[in-house]
Amino acid sequence: MNASDRTPADLLRSALAADPARPLVTYYDDATGERVELSVATFANWVAKTANLLQDGLSAEPGERVALLLPAHWQTAVWLLACASVGVVADLDGDPASADHVVAGPDRLDEGLACAGGRLALSLAPLGRRFPAPPAGYDDYAVEVPGQGDRFAPYAPVGPDAPALAVRDAAGGRTELTGADLVARARRDAARRGLAPGSRLLSGLPWQDWDGVSAGLYAPLAAGGSVVLCRHLDRLSPEELDRRTATERVTDRA
């Protein structure tokens, strides 16, 4: 964590400079048995490739909106940071009909067809596997992203006052955060949770609002820590959860 960081992309750059080899996102899906661990460097590489796909493949421009019809997942985390890197608004669970582009998981493909712009589908299958055939109306993210560049540079600088994230608020409405707003909130959440460099937060919260996505990504990133992101955590018994907490060296739970 660097006190001068003002955007989500800044937070990732600081994490990369501090220790690229440390784990950043460890993802479990307790419906499939999947476990994926991404170091800071590996995560940043996925972000760079995805940002290049956004900027060059979808021709997304700063200020445009990308509706992310995706659950709490490591690839969703990649997309959130890629959007921030390009300067487009990551509209988490947003209305695809009013978005410039849409990224949809396998259970929301029909909904995403309401978007008139670029459409990408994510299988969310273990190991990031592609669909057997691209869903109608979509390009397959797993097919398109591997060929993208490993380094990313935005065509226009992304300032801290640019809109970065739209997400559901506690009252059930929508709130839009600039990069600076997002970083400030993430830092406050990290302090409230007692997170510090090296902290390892386990979160099974859904990403349906700010609290979920903050615990599952932004607060640990802002603190210089890491996250154990668990989907379908309710399938674990208390004893299994305790074992995971010990095995993953978890210091805090959300």
- Beta-bridge mates of residue 34: 29
The domain spans of the chain are: 8-253
Taking 90 as the threshold, does the pLDDT of residue 9 lie above it?
Answer: yes
Highest CATH level, class, for 8-253:
alpha beta
Residues 6 or more apart whose Cβ sits within 8 Å of residue 200: 23, 220, 225, 226, 227, 228, 248, 249, 250, 251, 252
Q: Return phi, psi of residue 8, to 5°.
A: -55, -40
Span 83-93, mean pLDDT? 97
User: Is 132 within 8 Å of 171 (Cβ atoms)?
Assistant: no
As a whole number, the mean pLDDT across the chain is 96
Share of the chain above pLDDT 90, in %: 94
Instruction: Give 125-175 pLDDT, tens digit per residue.
Output: 988 899 999 999 999 999 999 999 999 999 999 999 999 999 998 788 899
What pTM, to 2 d.p., does this model score?
Answer: 0.97
Instruction: Give 182-231 pLDDT, tens digit per residue.
Output: 999 999 999 999 999 999 999 999 998 999 999 999 999 999 999 999 99
Taking 90 as the threshold, does the pLDDT of residue 1 lie above it?
Answer: no
Lookup result for tokens 């299994």:
240
User: Is 195 within 8 Å of 225 (Cβ atoms)?
Assistant: yes
Interatomic CA distance for residues 211 and 100, integer angstroms: 26
